[in-house]
């Protein structure tokens, strides 16, 4: 039996003057799945992420999250509803320890309760249970008190996913989480992302097609601001339209 739809985009448009970055995009993301959005550079993937997470406003269409019409809600309201996002460029607090990065992320869903400049973060404000759980999930327990800026690139990318997790979201949007990673870190990230669907819904932008094909339940392919194809990994891999979009008129002997 299919899981319920958690996120839906209906005829979403995004225009910048006369340029249409998105045109009539329809998308349905089911709960507790990994749903990847792929496509050539300029296809509109990141713009779609902005629309779904509320970091930019739509020009037309409708977005529904967990049964709520969030089309005109700002990003902070969507965070409170259960949306978390990581970005293509690592966004961490490099001068703070790993533990503090996670604590701040956990507090971010209720900042008014968290802000108390006159006392150290202790008791519920320390978010100790959440931080410990996420550190274990990331495999970064021994780096809890390490200054974040000294971590390897792969560890920093995992920590950024952990900061999204610390907010206890229903949906996690990951934008190029393996960007710049070495081979040794890729398997760890792949296992982490695959495991997230046990408790969360993952929407993923990723250029590494081996990872996309290995961990996705559904793949949406975009081209020129529109949905070109959608389906199971094996269907996308063999779709002639997808091969043409990536490879032009060349023979489709490579990856999708």
Q: Please give the pLDDT value at position 82.
A: 95
What is the full DSSP assignment across 180-200? Answer: T--HHHHHHHHHHHHHHTTTS
Q: Please give the pLDDT value at position 115.
A: 46
Residue 103's closest CA among 86, 126, 80? 126
Cβ atoms 168, 162 nearer than 8 A: no
Give the contacts of 247 (CB within 8 A, at least 6 positions apart): 254
Q: H helices of 21-140, where? A: 45-53, 75-81, 98-107, 111-114, 128-138
Q: Which two tokens stand for residue 44?
A: 């509109």
Cβ atoms 154, 163 nearer than 8 A: no
Question: Dihedral, CA atoms, 157, 170, 31, 88, nearest 10 degrees?
Answer: -30
Distance, CA of 138 to CA of 116 (rounded, Å) = 28
In tens digits, what is the pLDDT along the chain, a chain of 256 residues?
Answer: 579 999 999 999 999 999 999 999 999 999 999 999 999 989 999 999 999 999 999 999 999 999 999 999 999 899 899 999 886 566 799 999 999 999 988 886 555 544 454 444 444 445 788 999 999 999 999 999 999 999 999 999 999 999 999 988 999 999 999 988 888 889 899 999 999 999 999 999 998 888 999 999 999 999 999 999 999 999 999 999 998 887 664 443 344 3
Distance, CA of 167 to CA of 114 (rounded, Å) = 13
Q: Please give the pLDDT value at position 179.
A: 87
Residue that has been written with the tokens 């560890």 in this structure: 155
β pairing state of 218-223 and 226-231? antiparallel
pTM: 0.87
Q: Which two tokens stand for residue 200?
A: 């969360």
Find how far residue 6's CA is from the centre of its chain. 14
β-partners of residue 9 are 27, 63
- Candidates 2.40.50.140, 3.40.50.300, 3.10.20.30, 3.40.50.1370; correct CATH number of 5-93+169-247? 3.40.50.300
Q: Which residues of 131-167 are buried (b: 16+ CB within 10 A; e: fewer)?
A: bebbbebbebeebeeeebeebeebbbbbbbbbbbbbb
Cβ atoms 140, 155 nearer than 8 A: yes
Q: Please give the pLDDT value at position 2.
A: 79
Q: Please give the pLDDT value at position 71.
A: 98
């Amino acid at each position: 039996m299919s899981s319920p739809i958690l996120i839906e985009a209906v005829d979403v448009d995004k225009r910048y003057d006369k340029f249409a970055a998105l045109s009539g995009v329809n998308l349905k993301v089911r709960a507790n799945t990994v749903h990847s959005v792929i496509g050539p550079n300029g296809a509109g993937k990141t713009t779609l992420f902005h629309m779904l997470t509320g970091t930019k406003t739509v020009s037309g269409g409708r977005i529904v999250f967990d049964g709520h019409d969030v089309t005109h809600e700002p990003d902070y309201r969507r965070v409170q509803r259960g949306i978390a996002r990581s970005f293509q460029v690592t966004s961490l607090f490099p001068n703070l320890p790993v533990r503090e990065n996670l604590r701040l992320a956990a507090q971010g869903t209720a900042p008014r309760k968290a802000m108390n400049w006159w006392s150290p973060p202790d008791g519920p404000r320390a978010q100790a249970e959440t931080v410990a759980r996420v550190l274990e999930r990331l495999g970064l327990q021994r780096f809890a008190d390490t200054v974040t800026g000294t971590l390897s690139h792969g560890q920093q990318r995992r920590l950024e996913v952990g900061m999204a997790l610390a907010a206890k979201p229903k949906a996690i949007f990951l934008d190029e989480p393996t960007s710049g990673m070495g081979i040794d870190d890729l398997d760890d990230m792949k296992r982490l992302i695959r495991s997230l669907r046990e408790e969360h819904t993952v929407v993923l932008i990723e250029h590494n097609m081996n990872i996309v094909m290995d961990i996705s339940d559904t793949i949406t392919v975009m081209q020129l601001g529109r949905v070109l194809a959608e389906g199971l990994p094996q269907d996308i891999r063999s779709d002639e339209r997808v091969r043409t979009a990536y490879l032009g008129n060349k023979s489709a002997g490579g990856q999708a």
